Amino acid sequence: MKNDGTGSPIRGGKRPEEAGSVAYASWANNGSSPISSFTTTWSVPAIPDTTGNQTIFISNSLAPASGNAVLQPVLQYGPSAAGGGPYWAVASWYIVGTDAYYSSLISVSVGASLNAAITLTGTNGTRYDYVSSFSNIDGTSLAAIGSDELVWAAETFEAYGLTNITYPSDSTELYPINLRLGNGTIPPVSWTPINNSDEGVYMTVDIDGAEDAKITIHYP
């Protein structure tokens, strides 16, 4: 995840005014075969109880070992560099250093099923080509060409706001989560949750592994 030096992820090169919370679960591929696909399915949560200036991001993502880039299909509520407002919308993002690229932002309805996918499409020596998309929503594809190998896989929740941040009710189940390597194997994945939020948002790993795994985001 790209950072601004304070631990707060940046979207579109714009520093968030106030970090609300961050929770994620990650796994690092230390093998010789690259990650070839990383898919996650979840449903669009309810609208937050209070509509303020908060921005919420939910995504699966891949990043290189250097941590200076991230490729991710993102569900967002609120504004970002890609646009948005007090509604849920989806887009793919590719952030490299201080540069940010994103697909068109497309609104989605509460309860809609999202199939988020990051796929390796080609290799050339030590350079890798990937595509991020919501495979069931047209117009959300974004290519990362000539990238470093993306070795860090993560399921991520982020929230920012100028006023008090409120969240959806209930919880969000990320299921199924599937990850494959370029040699066709299913790696021995063990997801590590990191919950450093003061706001009470946290993740649990309910089913571990790289095949039909399940991670739940719990809201306060």
CATH of the domain at 138: 2.60.120.200
The token pair that represents 188 in the structure block: 């021995």
Q: Is 174 a domain residue? A: yes
Range of the structural domain that residue 98 is part of: 19-218
Q: Is 3 a domain residue? A: no
Compute how many other C-beta atoms are within 10 angstroms of the C-beta atom of residue 149.
Answer: 16
pLDDT on residue 3: 30
Q: Is 7 a domain residue? A: no
**d(Cα 78, Cα 99) in Å, to the nearest integer?**
21
Please identify every stretch of the chain with a pLDDT value under 70, giving residue numbers as ranges. 1-21, 162-164, 197
Alpha carbon separation from 181 to 142, 167, 187, 195 (Å, rounded): 21, 35, 7, 27
Q: Is 9 a domain residue? A: no
**Residue (of 99, 95, 79) closest to 87 by Cα position:** 79
**Residue (of 81, 108, 104) closest to 91 by Cα position:** 104
pLDDT on residue 161: 77
Q: Is 1 a domain residue? A: no
Q: Is 5 a domain residue? A: no
Compute how many other C-beta atoms are within 10 angstroms of the C-beta atom of residue 143.
Answer: 16
Alpha carbon separation from 2 to 70, 93, 139 (Å, rounded): 7, 12, 25
Q: Is 92 a domain residue? A: yes
Q: Is 6 a domain residue? A: no
pLDDT on residue 52: 72
Single-letter residue type at 38: F
Q: Tell me how many helices (H) and strands (E) the chain has.
A: 0, 15
**Residue (of 107, 127, 93, 111) closest to 173 by Cα position:** 111
Q: Which residue has the tokens 């199939």?
A: 115
**d(Cα 142, Cα 69) in Å, to the nearest integer?**
14
When divided into structural domains, the chain yields a total of 1
pLDDT on residue 200: 83
Bridge partners, residue 132, by sequence: 118, 142
pLDDT on residue 10: 32
Burial class (CB in 10 A: 0-12, 13-18, 19+), 95: buried
pLDDT in tens, 205-220: 999 999 999 999 999 8
